[in-house]
Chains A and B, each alone.
Chain A
Amino acid sequence: MSDTASAWLMRWLRGTAVLARYQNHWPGRLITWEGVSWAPLAFAPSALVGGDATVEAGASVQLPFDAISYPQVLAAQERGDYWELRQYAFDPTDADLGPPVTMTLQGAYLGQVVDAEVSGLAMIDVGLGAPLAPAGASFPPRTITTPLIGVPPQV
């Protein structure tokens, strides 16, 4: 591979079903990839980070604020769907029209939509990760309540 190009692809997963696909290399073009023809939606990825688990916001993406992406972001966050980011490297020689046969998976990230922000009615910044916000990640998980133990005494 004399030269290397990079393409990011993202899938919106619900269970085993793929609800939508995004990619940033052949947007707006019907492409065939791994036996599937699909019209990818555009998006812009941010960096993938792997490291200490306490490093939050391991990945984020930017989507256009439009009639397709916006409802998808809302639905994905509401339902806890997964978004999977993948970064592939390939030889750009034969990749003008679509993904080449040989692509090397170089990075991947699986997460849920944990936050999203619309800016200027133009872009949606979507943070991917695990929804372990501080309020939701208390450990031990339960607290003492009256439904649980009644009214405690004053000894």
Chain B
Amino acid sequence: MSTPLIRLELPLGELGRLTAQPETIAPAANTGAVGSSGNLDVDQRPAVLGEPVPIVFCRLLDGAGGVLIGPPATDGRFESDSSGNVTARYQLLLSEGRIGAPQARDVFQQSCRVGTFTMAYGRRAGDWGPGRVVAALSSGGEPPALPVFVGTAGGNYQGLSMGSFTVTIPSPFDQWRRQVWVFVRNGMEVYRFIEGTVGSSDNFVDLVGWALQRTGRMPPQLISGASLLTAAQFLDANGLTFNGVIEESSNLLDWIARVAPHYLLRFIRSRGVYSLRPLLPTEAGGAISTSAVTWSVVLRNVDVDVASIRLTMIPRGDRMPVAVVAQWRQQPTDTEGIPRSAILRYGSSAEAGPYIQFDLSGYCTRELHAIRFCAYQLAARRYITHRLTVRVLPSREPSGLEVGDLIRADFEVTAPVTGTARIDQLYTVEQMNRSPGGVLTLELLHFPVDSQGRSVIALDVTRAQGTGVLLPSGRAPVSCDANDPDDPSVPTDPGPWPGWPGPDEYPIPTYPPDETPPPDVDPFEPTPPPDIPISPFNPDPPPQDPDSPTDDWGPGLNPVPAIDEIDPGIGPVETPPEGEDYIATLSVDQLALTYPENMTLITESNAVGVAGRLTVDNPPIDTDLTIVLSDGRTDRLWSLQIPAGETSTQLPSDFTTGSDVPTASVIRSVTVEQHNGGNYQAAEGDPVTINPTTFTLEVYVGTISVDAPGRWTYSGGWIWAGEDVPDWDWDDVTEQWAFTGTATGWTWDQANQRWTYSGTAPTDWEWVVAEQRWRRITTTSTDWRWASDGWVYTGATTPPPAAPADIEAKPADPPEAPLPAPTIIAAPDPASYAVTLRLRVDKVPIGIPGTDDLGVTLEDYYLSAGELPAGVLPFTAPNAIPAVLMQFGSWRWIPAAQWWQHTYSGSEWRWMPDTATWLYLLDPGDWTWSQNQAQWIGGTGAPPSAPPFENGTPWPPDAERWTWDALTAQWVAPVSEVTTPGGTPPDVSGLGLLSGIVHYEVPYSLS
């Protein structure tokens, strides 16, 4: 069965020998009308209703490719003359779409170049119509038997490449019945991803792109054009071509998924979008990469649920040595394809089989293509040892991870006795499952690399080379050609036949037959009336109007929400006090607003008139103006917005929604900043002094600006906002970590963010820079080698001898680099990223002793997009001075408890703050302490000691419980429960002011 024709020994590599083995002639699978091992001497086949319209997809390049097809006849015309000679004409269905017109030398009947052939697209070819004409023989006798059912010309031939073949065969031969064969050099024209033009192609990806779009059911949004381009470049760079005919019906997705691996591609669906990705690492131009690979993510123990890690070894039976056989097709230009077998095995392994066969002959016309496919199959079996499943912790999930990405898993566990066991490999993300709870589970496939971080599969695939030998077709020389075998001319089609009514006469009927426009009202359009019962899942949503979408997730396209809409769900919607109309008149330079006199203006502006009237000079013309009022309650505020550019505004009576605490402070802080006159402008790093409290304004590395109304953008770098990392510094400019510590023998490669080893080279180990780990490099046996994570036996002895013992202990690892930057997303492009500004204020009292008890407060204020004008970074402190500032001598005001506390720590007295009295703790004898007189009374002898006196009294100063009203910015004396009456508001002057830092936190979001 096997006849050695070729034997090729490939160069030896550390990964073993890849050997193209003797080729065997094996029958190829019937893959349709590609002429692979077909029989040319058959009758012309008619078209069959219901069968698929064939797709001829090929391109003859560099002497390889093209397809020999045997097109079906859709009708014919047959005439015999008085001599019995027969002239036969066939209308042939060549292909879906437009193909390149065949040359005169490319048309055969049986195996002879005879007759004439022309091609047309979208109509009948030739200038004849179907029919049957039989002339009586001049010699008498029976005329030739011509077909009776010749077909009709009743088609529209839309989108089809049709051929007209005419031949006259002298009596008594009947070769006119034989099948017409056409060698197609340039198949169906499609969009070519690489060139960006339409034309014939042999790129499988072009065919997939055409097919996905042609179904009409695959929206473009669900096809990744970028991945298709990358895949097309991969095929083009590595000589993986498609030259075949598809005429057997399949499910499109199944077909792509089945054929894609033959092109070393993987058909995946990620985030709902279909794409093709190479199975091997690639260079920029698409060539298979044999350089060290890089990975995007490293998963360590802290990143995953360790209990979820499942490592499943590939069954040994699936990794045993085999010989892989791929059937391909050597395609001559003058006859059917020659079936070829590419056989590959490692060295002398599996010489007696087993064989794993793949049939690529339907479209593979290059030996190297078949060889590389075989090499991939062999290498994958040999080197891929296991799969890994792991559940990623939600807080540690890497962003942007996609199916097909390369990641590194570095897991380890240390036991007291046995030491550390470690899994440290590269993997391809095969599947990503996300649970309803958002937990991501990854299914990973081992991605083996060598000591230099190169894909060993890619190395073997690129090392595999074909023989380059083209076999003779075995076709005996024939002398039946009536046409010149070297005639490259393309005959012009004279048609169409005048009797053909044309495509419009045979339209495909549509339903409904009349073209009544659809009703205006779409019965499927949801138009819920305003009073429809709301789902219990949505207790308080406003009515939805699906036809009036006005916003999007991109902040730049959205209306700026009113700040008073932040949380209406907390309490009932408030209505403003009755009895007044709220009229705002806005002119170019002044805005005047009348509001109820029982309300207090909270908004700070550059000009405030008498109570009940607000005047704003030079109001902003490009931003909305927000006014905030108080009706005296501390738990709510009123706000109204005047749209920018309004010159006369009738404010609605329900212009605002207040809310209960705690959102009042948020409203207050935001709205103040709307006023032109009250804004504070600051450049980067400028300190800003804001009365009554001093703040330091600190802007991070970047700048914040407004590039469009209602849209904030952030440009600049990212800083490390976490805690200090020992020995490491974050470089704000390069946005990378820099090592500042000492690590003997190690050098930190700042540019590549990895360690290089500069110490004394160990004998048995080498530092793999790409993988950032040690790898064993020497062995004591020629039959043992150190693979990615252990010894692998490559000898022939069964059972294998014991593995070599470790000669040298594994060197120590370098210091572990800290985690990546606070955000691994690079500095955003201002044009594509929009942000919402968040002010975080650390308020630290200064000038006050014992600030630990006074507390450091942290408040957040959110400024929605568009609330601040361009180039202005205003900030006004909230009108709040905490009462914690009150401290007099040994007395300290405790705001949370609303009482004075004394710092006395002696053992005789205790200050009872809740009753504002002193309690004597020792035996006073017959003495009694008089609270009113502040002295001992009634006893004999020396009285006990008195409690601490300050300013002549043991009582707190001004012990009225004053509170600071943040809304009115003044001290308020509530109903007193204390013993000491009267007093004046505490004087906080001279006690110091607040200082603080304003942090601008700029989260990113895709616009």
Interface residues of A, Cβ cutoff 8 Å to B: 1, 3-4, 6, 8, 11-12, 14, 16-20, 27-30, 32-42, 44-55, 58-59, 64, 66-69, 71-72, 74-75, 78-80, 82, 87, 89, 94, 97-98, 101-112, 128-134, 136-155
Residues from chain A with Cβ under 8 Å of B443 in the complex: 51
How far does the alpha carbon of A87 sit from the alpha carbon of B535 in the complex, in Å? 23
A89 touching B395, Cβ below 8 Å:
yes
Closest to B207 in A: A139
Residues from chain B with Cβ under 8 Å of A136 in the complex: 215, 217
Say whether, besides A8-B438, A107-B438, A151-B151, A54 and B431 are in contact (CB < 8 Å): no
Bits for B524-553, please: 1 = Cβ < 8 Å to A, else 0.
111110001111111111101011010111
Residues from chain A with Cβ under 8 Å of B218 in the complex: 130, 132
Say whether, besides A28-B539, A132-B253, A51 and B864 are in contact (CB < 8 Å): no
A150 touching B154, Cβ below 8 Å:
yes
Interface residues of B, Cβ cutoff 8 Å to A: 43-55, 72-76, 93, 96, 130, 147-160, 177, 211, 214-219, 221-222, 246-247, 249-257, 266-274, 393-395, 397, 399, 402-403, 430-438, 440, 443, 506-508, 522, 524-528, 532-542, 544, 546-547, 549, 551-555, 558-562, 565-570, 663, 710, 834, 836, 838, 860, 862, 864-866, 1001, 1003, 1005-1006
Closest to B271 in A: A108
Contact among B44, B151, B216, B838 for A150, CB-based, below 8 A:
B151
B252 touching A138, Cβ below 8 Å:
yes
Say whether, besides A30-B567, A132-B253, A75 and B430 are in contact (CB < 8 Å): no
B254 touching A18, Cβ below 8 Å:
no
Say whether, besides A75-B522, A78-B524, A101-B1001, A155 and B73 are in contact (CB < 8 Å): yes
Contact among B48, B271, B865 for A152, CB-based, below 8 A:
B48
> Which residue among A52, A105, A140, A151 has the maximum number of chain B CB atoms within 10 Å of its CB?
A140
B251 touching A138, Cβ below 8 Å:
yes
Say whether, besides A67-B532, A72-B546, A148-B156, A87 and B438 are in contact (CB < 8 Å): yes
A32 touching B561, Cβ below 8 Å:
yes
Contact among B177, B252, B436, B535 for A69, CB-based, below 8 A:
B535
B257 touching A68, Cβ below 8 Å:
no
Looking at the assembled complex, report how far the CB atom of A73 sits from the nearest CB atom of chain B, in whole angstroms. Answer: 9
Residues from chain A with Cβ under 8 Å of B567 in the complex: 29-30, 97-98
Say whether, besides A30-B565, A140-B54, A148-B155, A153 and B147 are in contact (CB < 8 Å): yes
Residues from chain B with Cβ under 8 Å of A18 in the complex: 549, 551-553
How far does the alpha carbon of A38 sit from the alpha carbon of B538 in the complex, in Å? 12
Looking at the assembled complex, report how far the CB atom of A137 sits from the nearest CB atom of chain B, in whole angstroms. Answer: 4
> Which residue among A29, A51, A80, A138 has the maximum number of chain B CB atoms within 10 Å of its CB?
A51
Beyond A36-B555, A136-B215, 5 additional pairs, beta carbon < 8 A: A17-B552, A29-B567, A104-B399, A144-B49, A155-B43
Residues from chain A with Cβ under 8 Å of B48 in the complex: 144, 152
Residues from chain B with Cβ under 8 Å of A129 in the complex: 272
Residues from chain A with Cβ under 8 Å of B269 in the complex: 50-53, 55, 58
Sampled A-B contacts (24; CB under 8 Å): A8-B438, A18-B552, A19-B547, A28-B540, A28-B569, A30-B568, A37-B561, A37-B565, A50-B402, A51-B432, A52-B267, A53-B253, A68-B544, A72-B526, A89-B438, A97-B566, A104-B399, A106-B394, A108-B272, A110-B271, A149-B155, A150-B151, A151-B154, A152-B49
Closest to B147 in A: A155
Residues from chain B with Cβ under 8 Å of A71 in the complex: 524-528
Residues from chain B with Cβ under 8 Å of A28 in the complex: 537-541, 569
Contact among B50, B246, B395, B540 for A144, CB-based, below 8 A:
B50
Closest to B568 in A: A30
Residues from chain B with Cβ under 8 Å of A149 in the complex: 47, 74-75, 93, 155, 157, 160
How far does the alpha carbon of A28 sit from the alpha carbon of B43 in the complex, in Å? 73
How far does the alpha carbon of A97 sit from the alpha carbon of B634 in the complex, in Å? 21
How far does the alpha carbon of A105 sit from the alpha carbon of B553 in the complex, in Å? 13
Looking at the assembled complex, report how far the CB atom of A97 sits from the nearest CB atom of chain B, in whole angstroms. Answer: 5
A29 touching B437, Cβ below 8 Å:
no
Residues from chain B with Cβ under 8 Å of A54 in the complex: 253-254, 257, 267
How far does the alpha carbon of A79 sit from the alpha carbon of B818 in the complex, in Å? 50
Contact among A1, A50, A102, A148 for B271, CB-based, below 8 A:
A50
Looking at the assembled complex, report how far the CB atom of A66 sits from the nearest CB atom of chain B, in whole angstroms. Answer: 4
> Which residue among B272, B533, B546, B562 has the maximum number of chain A CB atoms within 10 Å of its CB?
B272
Residues from chain A with Cβ under 8 Å of B217 in the complex: 130-133, 136-137
A53 touching B268, Cβ below 8 Å:
yes
* Chain A interface, DSSP helix/strand/loop, else mixed: mixed
Closest to B556 in A: A35
Pairs A-B, 6 closest by C-beta atoms = A6-B438, A71-B526, A42-B537, A39-B541, A51-B431, A35-B555
How far does the alpha carbon of A29 sit from the alpha carbon of B544 in the complex, in Å? 14
Looking at the assembled complex, report how far the CB atom of A152 sits from the nearest CB atom of chain B, in whole angstroms. Answer: 4
Say whether, besides A35-B710, A52-B431, A142 and B52 are in contact (CB < 8 Å): yes
How far does the alpha carbon of A148 sit from the alpha carbon of B506 in the complex, in Å? 8
How far does the alpha carbon of A84 sit from the alpha carbon of B441 in the complex, in Å? 21
Residues from chain B with Cβ under 8 Å of A97 in the complex: 566-567, 569-570, 663
B395 touching A1, Cβ below 8 Å:
yes
A27 touching B537, Cβ below 8 Å:
yes
How far does the alpha carbon of A150 sit from the alpha carbon of B862 in the complex, in Å? 71
Residues from chain B with Cβ under 8 Å of A142 in the complex: 52-53, 96, 159
Residues from chain A with Cβ under 8 Å of B527 in the complex: 71
How far does the alpha carbon of A143 sit from the alpha carbon of B52 in the complex, in Å? 4
B75 touching A82, Cβ below 8 Å:
no
A64 touching B43, Cβ below 8 Å:
no
Say whether, besides A34-B836, A131-B217, A147-B506, A111 and B222 are in contact (CB < 8 Å): yes
How far does the alpha carbon of A88 sit from the alpha carbon of B274 in the complex, in Å? 22
Contact among A75, A112, A153 for B149, CB-based, below 8 A:
A153
Residues from chain A with Cβ under 8 Å of B257 in the complex: 52-54
How far does the alpha carbon of A114 sit from the alpha carbon of B310 in the complex, in Å? 34
Say whether, besides A29-B569, A30-B567, A110-B271, A50 and B431 are in contact (CB < 8 Å): yes
A47 touching B397, Cβ below 8 Å:
no
Say whether, besides A47-B433, A105-B399, A39 and B540 are in contact (CB < 8 Å): yes
How far does the alpha carbon of A140 sit from the alpha carbon of B76 in the complex, in Å? 25
How far does the alpha carbon of A51 sit from the alpha carbon of B559 in the complex, in Å? 38
A101 touching B862, Cβ below 8 Å:
yes
Closest to A32 in B: B561
Looking at the assembled complex, report how far the CB atom of B561 sits from the nearest CB atom of chain A, in whole angstroms. Answer: 4
How far does the alpha carbon of A54 sit from the alpha carbon of B153 in the complex, in Å? 41
A153 touching B150, Cβ below 8 Å:
yes
How far does the alpha carbon of A138 sit from the alpha carbon of B217 in the complex, in Å? 11
Looking at the assembled complex, report how far the CB atom of A52 sits from the nearest CB atom of chain B, in whole angstroms. Answer: 6
How far does the alpha carbon of A1 sit from the alpha carbon of B864 in the complex, in Å? 23
How far does the alpha carbon of A11 sit from the alpha carbon of B708 in the complex, in Å? 25
A47 touching B435, Cβ below 8 Å:
yes
Residues from chain B with Cβ under 8 Å of A47 in the complex: 433-436
How far does the alpha carbon of A133 sit from the alpha carbon of B217 in the complex, in Å? 9
Contact among A11, A38, A79, A101 for B836, CB-based, below 8 A:
A101
Say whether, besides A87-B434, A140-B55, A41 and B538 are in contact (CB < 8 Å): yes
Closest to A49 in B: B433
B864 touching A32, Cβ below 8 Å:
yes
How far does the alpha carbon of A40 sit from the alpha carbon of B560 in the complex, in Å? 17
How far does the alpha carbon of A155 sit from the alpha carbon of B180 in the complex, in Å? 13
Residues from chain B with Cβ under 8 Å of A38 in the complex: 551
Residues from chain A with Cβ under 8 Å of B561 in the complex: 32, 35-37
How far does the alpha carbon of A57 sit from the alpha carbon of B565 in the complex, in Å? 38
